[in-house]
Amino acid sequence: MECTVNWNHNNGMLFVASTGSGHVTVMDGAVEGGGRDSAPRPMEMMLAGAGGCAAYDVVLILKRGRHQVTDCQVKLVSERADTDPKVFTKIVFEFIVSGINLSAQAVERAVQLSHDKYCSASAMLAKTAAVSYTVEIRNTQESHEN
């Protein structure tokens, strides 16, 4: 896996990342740090990456189990160290998983597997942060209307 990050010096602290898979994303800093607040901060991108990694795992596990998952949202709430390096010290993943007749056991198992085995991003962040999660399931009954 590769990624190249270039500073766009004409725009304060704007950085453009080009990934090995051919995608581009931007990052910026806060105004007080010389940025223009025009894109997510690098640490926000790390948090978003962990959320995306975990959500991907949960949806994939549920789909492979033939569960009718219709939505998955992960809100991440974090705390960082007060001094440099300001690493994450606490991260709570708040999962809201929606579907048709989802069993609590299947959803909780999917989240647990992501947390314990599959999510590389949260595993790395767990080296400095206490990582935990909550799960909310929003079920709808399958419609039998004709």
Q: 8-12, 79-83, 109-113, 126-130: which range is least confident on average?
A: 8-12
Q: Over 70: is that where the pLDDT of 143 sits?
A: no
pTM of the model: 0.91
Same domain, 91 and 55: yes
Same domain, 47 and 71: yes
Can you tell me which residue has the tokens 């999962």? 95
Q: 30-39, 101-110, 135-144: which range is least confident on average?
A: 135-144
**Tens-place pLDDT, residues 95-124:** 999 999 999 999 999 999 999 999 999 999
Q: For the chain, how many structural domains are there in total?
A: 2
What is the model's pLDDT at position 141?
A: 75
146 vs 92 pLDDT, higher one = 92
**Tens-place pLDDT, residues 46-103:** 999 999 999 999 999 999 999 999 999 999 999 999 999 999 999 999 999 999 999 9
141 and 101 Cβ atoms separated by less than 8 Å: yes
What is the model's pLDDT at position 113?
A: 98
What is the model's pLDDT at position 99?
A: 97
Q: What is the DSSP string of 44-55?
A: HHHHHHHHHHHH
Same domain, 88 and 23: no
Same domain, 17 and 49: no
Angle between helices 42-64 and 104-113 (to 10 degrees): 130
Same domain, 28 and 47: no
What is the model's pLDDT at position 146?
A: 45
| Cα Rg, the chain, nearest whole Å | 18
In terms of Cα–Cα distance, which of 33, 25, 29 is closest to 4?
Answer: 25
Give the alpha-carbon dihedral of 100, 101, 104, 110, to 10 degrees. -50
Same domain, 127 and 56: yes
Contacts of 59 (CB under 8 A, 6+ apart): 69, 72
Q: Over 50: is that where the pLDDT of 136 sits?
A: yes
Q: Is residue 84 part of a domain?
A: yes
Same domain, 20 and 74: no
For residues 122-140, average pLDDT = 96
CA–CA dist 11, 8 (Å, integer): 6
Same domain, 29 and 46: no
Which residue range(s) make up the domain with 24? Answer: 3-33
Same domain, 26 and 75: no
CA–CA dist 75, 134 (Å, integer): 10
In terms of Cα–Cα distance, which of 80, 82, 60 is closest to 69?
Answer: 60
Q: Is residue 21 part of a domain?
A: yes
